[in-house]
Each structure stands twice: as structure tokens, then as C-alpha cells.
Structure 1
Amino acid sequence: MEQFEAFLAAHLPSAASFHPHYETSLHQMLLGGGKRFRPALLLGVVQAYNTLLVPSAYHAALAIELLHTYSLIHDDLPAMDNADLRRGMPTLHKMYNEVSAILAGDALNTYAFEVLSNAPFSDKVIVKLVRSLAHNGGVEGMVLGQAIDCHFENQRLELEQVKMLHIHKTGKLIAASLQMGAYIVGRDDLAQQLYDFGIDLGLLFQIQDDILDVTQDETQAGKTTNNDEAKNSFVTLLGYERAMDEANALAEKVTRQMMSFDENLQRELSPTLTQYINRHKD
């Protein structure tokens, strides 16, 4: 991941102009840290099956991180979560203004596909990667989840509806990360299995975030916390204890799924996954 960080720093979006902070706003959230969870999953799959393709795969990993970062910028806007803090720093609309934050998110969204289109893969592979990222990050994926999340604030949903919401808002982009890794190494036979695993992993990730929202302060989380009262979070719906039970059961399921993978894939994914599978217990 150190090499990926160097790649990211060397491929930041560039847009020289007389605007006082446009280019800086594009870089700020990217350089502000973050878990890099989705890039690590993609690169883990590639490392498991073809180490020679890892440098090329940085393009796809960066594309995912760009799309994810755009979603965070927009998620924090006053029209959505109205958050003041992200990755330990003021959100872009607080640092500059709402217009700057909207445009920075728009720019990172489109730049993700520019980076992906320039990846050193065959056109056939690039089309698969673009399709996966666009489908899971867009109309039927992350954006749908966000639309449901925002529309049903202050309206109680059923548990299965909440799961659908978060599978789309969080799970699908995590699932795409694993699927795209399989496409890069020509393991289309594994793509669906990894995608399904990613959906469960993404749901676990979201339940954990909901738990951490009520157990961590802003300094620990690096973002605005205790901000989910009006949202359909798992803790809001189930309460803390039942949300923990759901997280524990899903963590066990994800662990079993991971243990069913071949030795190479287990070896490469385990360092990333072991950091997160039980983070709600920390």
C-alpha cells in the first residue's frame, strides 16, 4: 500500500488555473488519509494471482478511491449529512463553500473514469472495469442507496429495507473492488464469488460504522459522529445490543467465506480483512 500511496500522490488531478483553491480542493480529501480499504481489496486479489500486474492495477485501485472520495464529499454536504469533519479535517464545504465541495466531488467522479480508461490493460478488460465501477457506484448501486437513505430520514424502515439500503450505499462498491481485481487477473470464474463476498463484507462494514458512530468521539473516528439519529442506521433500528449481535453473526459468516478461498487469496486478503472484521469489538 505504500507503493499505492506514492502512485496516488503522483496521479492527483491537475487543473492549473487562476482559481484560488479549485485544484487544492481536489487534492485535500485524497491526501487526507482514509482507510484505503477498497484499493487494498482489489490489489490483494491481483497480488494473489499475478504479482506482475500489481503496478498496472494501481490505476483501477485509484479509480475506486477517487469514486469513493467523491461520494464522501457529497455525503457530507448540508443537503445530506451536513457533517463538519472528515478524515480528521474540516469537510470541503466548511473549508471553502458548498459550491466548491459539489464541484470537487463532480471532478473526482469523472476523473475516476479518466484514470481507468488510461490503465495499461486491454480494451476488453477496461470495459469490464468501467462497467463494474459505473454500475456499482451509480444508478443501481451507491447512488440508489444514498437516495433511499436521504429520502427516508425520520421514517422507520424494516430491517430488510435497511439492509437493501446499505448493500447499495456501501456494499456494492466494496464488492466491485473485489470483482474488478478478478477481472484484472483474468479470473472471471471467481468474479461472482468475490462479488457476493464483498456484499456481505460491505454490510458488515456498515453495521460496524453505525456502531462506531455511537461509541467513538470525533477525535477517534476522524469524522462527525453521533449524527445518525434521523437516519435508518442499524443501531437506530435495532438498538446497540442487537446491532452488535448482527455484526458478530456477519463477522463469523465473512470469516467462514474467507476461509473457503484458496491459500493464495487467503494470504493476500487476510492482512486487510483481519483489521476490519472485528473492529466493532475494539
Structure 2
Amino acid sequence: MSLKENFEKYLLSNLINVESFHPYFNEALNYMLKAGGKRFRPLLLLNVVKAYEPLLLKNSYPIAAAIEFLHTYSLIHDDLPSMDNADLRRGYKTLHKKYDETTAILVGDALNTHSFYLISTAPLSSDVKTKLSYELSYNGGIYGMVLGQAIDCYFENKILDIEKLKFLHIHKTAKLIAASLKMGAIICEKDEDFQNRLYNFGIDLGLLFQIQDDLIDSLEDEKSAGKTTSNDTNKNSFVNLLGVDGAYNEAEKLALKLENELNSFDKNLKESLENLLTEYIFRHRKFMNK
């Protein structure tokens, strides 16, 4: 089985189950995890571990799951009526549409906190787990994703310049992607310079990922995208600021930069990341028939 298939099997075998007389809370906790997804962030971590310490792959699955749990919480809250008010996610009804808004808020809270439970109970050294908790909380919290979301929501219907737009999306999207790569290097106990090199690569990758998502929102229908689209008309997106051609050009510049950096990695890391990243680095090209 592929790394993605193995991780998917692990994730579905380790869903949350709490003793309770609530009629559907356990079902709701796992609803969006079972809905699938690219598993992009956990696979970044696992591919770094595969490159350098393949014997630690099994021990790293809980950390990869923690990243996916945190990411999934952010999607559930992002879809809420007070934020994007989306109806569709991963081809399924969003959680507040499937159940109710209260359930969606509580499930998001639960997945957020449970991600740190998964790190704390993983079969890794205490020192490594402390560093992993720091990276996930720093990049997923007020210094990263939460700050980005706050800026995104506050500045709806207010146009930001390109530098502020990048600041927004570096925090909202890119930092968790960058942290996923860095956390893989932490598990392998690579030196700080290398960790930071991977992190910076991840920031560029996350920005590219966001520009491509903006193109998807603008150019794809809901069925193709598997989520609510044409939902960014009031938001600060790269397409809204630069137009479709401008957003494509920004994506292409980042893609070529990332391709060069990927080619500069050592053989093990390049081979491990190449199959995963090649699919995403140039996915914007399909929108422009190029």
C-alpha cells in the first residue's frame, strides 16, 4: 500500500469514540474525518520521516493524525454561518448543515484539543513531543492560522494590498503547511538550519496552495471542487486582487521557485516528496489550458 493508503487506514482505525449517552456526538466527531480529503499536510510530515527515518514512520502516524485533526477543525469552523457559511465540504454537507451550528462549534473545539492529546500520547521522546506541540500550537494558533482567519473575516469587503494579502494567507494557510514539513524534520532530529529551510519551502508551498484554491473557487463548479465555490466574492483573494491571469502568473512564479528548491534537496528527500508535490505544484495550469 502507498503511504497515503497506510495513513488513511491508520486514521480510520483510530477515530474518536467517547462513552456518552449523546445520540450522535461520536458520529459528528468523526463525520468530516471520514469524508476523506487530500491528507496533504500529514503526508508532508510522513514523507519527510520516510526520507530520513523510515523506522519511525509508524510512531509518526499519531502526529500526522494530529495535524489532520487540527486542519479539519479549522475547516469546520471556517464553514460556519458566521464565517464562510458554506454548504458543502469534501463532497458532503458541512457539519453545521448535517447536524447544527452548536454541534459544529463543539466538534471543532474537540478536534483542536484532541490533536494535542494525540501528540502527548505518541510513542516518541518527551523532548521531541514538546517541540512538536510548540510547532503545531504556534502555527495553528494566534501566531498563525487563527490570526490569518481573524484578518480574513475582519477585512471582508475591504481591499488589501498584495503584501497584506500575502501576510493574511501566510498565516491562515501557509504556516500549517510549513509546520507539517518542519515537524517531520523534528521527528527525525534534523538540525535547526534544515528545519528552517523546510519551513520556508513550506511557506512558499502554502502560498501557492492558496492561490490555486482561489482559482478553484473562481473557475470550478461545486461538483468538481467538492466544496462550495464562488464563495470568495467579498474576500481578499488573489483572484479578486489580481484577476485570473494575475493570480495564475503569481502561482507560476511560485511553482517554478518550488520546483528549483525541490531539485536542490538531497536525493532521499526529493524522491520522497516528488510524487506528492508534483501533483500540486502545477495544478493551476489546468485552469488556463497550459
- TM-score, normalised on structure 1? 0.99
Task: Give the drift of 1:224.
Answer: 0.1
Q: Quick one: distance in 1 between partners of 2:275 and 2:180? A: 16
- The more displaced of 15-24 and 250-259 is 15-24
Correspondence for 1:133: 136
Correspondence for 1:98: 101
- The more displaced of 186-195 and 225-234 is 186-195
Of residues 184, 187, 202, the one that matches 1:184 is: 187
Q: Quick one: distance in 1 between partners of 2:9 and 2:58? A: 11
**Which residue identity does 1:120 align to in structure 2?**
P
Of residues 215, 219, 222, the one that matches 1:218 is: 222
Q: Quick one: distance in 1 between partners of 2:83 and 2:284? A: 25
Q: Quick one: distance in 2 between partners of 1:242 and 1:8? A: 38
**Other structure's SS at 1:108 match:** helix
Tell me whether 1:278 sits opposite 2:247 in the alignment: no
The equivalences for 1:28-177 within 5 A come to 28-177=31-180
How many residues of Structure 1 are paired with residues of Structure 2 in the alignment? Answer: 282
Q: Quick one: distance in 2 between partners of 1:237 and 1:22? A: 41
Of residues 19, 23, 37, the one that matches 2:22 is: 19
| Structure 1: 5+ residue stretches without partners | none
Q: Quick one: distance in 2 between partners of 1:256 and 1:34? A: 28
Q: Quick one: distance in 1 between partners of 2:285 and 2:218? A: 13
Q: Quick one: distance in 1 between partners of 2:175 and 2:211? A: 15
- TM-score, normalised on structure 2? 0.96
CA deviation string 1:131-175 (max 9, x = no partner)? 000000001100000000000000000000000000000000000
**Other structure's SS at 1:276 match:** helix
Q: Quick one: distance in 2 between partners of 1:224 and 1:3? A: 29
Task: Give the drift of 1:260.
Answer: 1.0
Correspondence for 2:213: 209
| Structure 2: 5+ residue stretches without partners | none
**Other structure's SS at 2:230 match:** coil
CA contact (8 A) 1:153 1:231 kept: yes
Correspondence for 1:251: 255
Q: Quick one: distance in 2 between partners of 1:261 and 1:212? A: 29
**Which residue identity does 2:127 align to in structure 1?**
K
Provide runs of 4+ in structure 1 moved above 6 Å: none
**Which residue identity does 1:19 align to in structure 2?**
H
**Other structure's SS at 1:186 match:** coil
Task: Give the drift of 1:16.
Answer: 2.6
Of residues 198, 214, 233, the one that matches 1:229 is: 233
CA contact (8 A) 1:92 1:101 kept: yes
RMSD over aligned Cα, in angstroms? 0.7
Tell me whether 1:240 sits opposite 2:244 in the alignment: yes
Q: Quick one: distance in 1 between partners of 2:276 and 2:248? A: 21
CA contact (8 A) 1:13 1:111 kept: no
Task: Give the drift of 1:188.
Answer: 2.6
